[in-house]
């Protein structure tokens, strides 16, 4: 199906790795112009080469620290200068370190807050500045099913993702009048096929760093669909929500793409 994303200007933060990588490649199949905003430009360039082969109208990699507002503003300007504006933003960057809350420290809290929430605020703020005068756009934030159910060893991360859900709903209500749609996609456990699909900053860069194979198998057994998620499963949902043609009346929603782990009405 043609999603009418051809030559649209799309920014994907954290697009060099795992879910972000899959999102970039899915937009590429639709013929979009893509800006990969990532700290790891080497991995970003590898994804950019794949995106060009997949059909992207254009693709560039911009080294970006989403926790720095000035850096985000500069990245958006590069995207707008290259592709005539910004139509879609995917707030994909996220990071966690699995441990029980009693094991965490204020330094870790601060790092998690900056990466998982402040970065989202920065990118959304600048996106609205571009989209409002230009007839609208789409913002999709990658959240987590940990935000909906609560998950042991993800207390701070899950709380921040719940904050993201609420934030995006509010932004959707405030900016619907400007034809700006805002939604969240919540993955469950989502694992790349190999470490080749990750960057050095990824939680999944080291095999078995998060879960062992036995733990993955145990998780899969608990899911209605009986398998662990792949990055492409999330990417499909993101690209769907980004399309004005097929999702133009959808905003303020939190969609789980998690094999049925979370079933919330």
The answer on pLDDT for 202 being more than 80 is no
Catalytic residue among 83, 130, 157, 261, which? Answer: 157
Report the number of distinct structural domains present in the chain: 1
Domain-embedded: residue 2:
no
157 part of the active site: yes
pLDDT, tens digit, 9 for 90 and up, residues 100-130 = 999 999 999 999 999 999 999 999 999 999 9
> Given pLDDT bands bounded at 50, 70 and 90, which one contains residue 210?
low
Residues 5, 27: contact at Cβ < 8 Å?
yes
- Which CATH number fits the domain that encloses residue 18? 3.40.50.720
Q: What is the model's pLDDT at position 196?
A: 64
Task: Check whether 170 has a pLDDT greater than 70.
Answer: yes
Chain-centroid distance of CA 193 in Å reads 18
b (16+ CB within 10 A) / e for 162-180: bbbbebbbebbeebeeebb
Mean local confidence (pLDDT), 144-171: 96
Domain assignment of residue 88, given as a range = 9-257
83 falls within a domain: yes
pLDDT exceeds cutoff 90 at 19: yes
What is the mean predicted confidence (pLDDT) over 84-96?
98
């Amino acid at each position: 199906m043609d999603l009418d994303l051809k030559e649209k200007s799309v920014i994907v933060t954290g697009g060099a790795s795992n879910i972000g990588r899959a999102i970039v490649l899915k937009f590429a199949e639709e013929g979009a112009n893509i800006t990969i905003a990532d700290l790891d430009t080497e991995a970003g360039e590898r994804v950019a080469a794949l995106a060009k082969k997949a059909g992207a109208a254009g693709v560039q990699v911009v080294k970006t620290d989403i926790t720095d507002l000035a850096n985000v503003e500069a990245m958006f300007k590069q995207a707008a200068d290259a592709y005539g504006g910004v139509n879609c933003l995917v707030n994909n960057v996220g990071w966690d370190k699995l441990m029980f809350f009693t094991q965490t420290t204020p330094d870790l809290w601060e790092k998690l807050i900056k990466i998982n929430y402040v970065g989202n605020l920065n990118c959304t703020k600048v996106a609205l500045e571009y989209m409002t005068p230009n007839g609208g756009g789409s913002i999709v934030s990658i959240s987590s099913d940990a935000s909906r159910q609560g998950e042991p060893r993800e207390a701070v991360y899950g709380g921040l993702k719940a904050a993201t859900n609420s934030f995006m709903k509010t932004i959707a209500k405030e900016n619907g009048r400007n034809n700006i749609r805002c939604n969240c996609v919540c993955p469950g456990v989502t694992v790349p096929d190999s470490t080749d699909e990750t960057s050095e900053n990824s939680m999944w860069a080291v095999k078995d760093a998060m879960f062992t194979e036995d733990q993955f198998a145990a998780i899969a057994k608990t899911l209605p669909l009986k398998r662990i998620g792949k990055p492409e499963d999330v990417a499909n949902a993101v690209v769907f929500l980004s399309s004005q043609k097929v999702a133009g009346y959808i905003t303020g929603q939190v969609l789980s793409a998690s094999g049925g782990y979370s079933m919330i009405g």
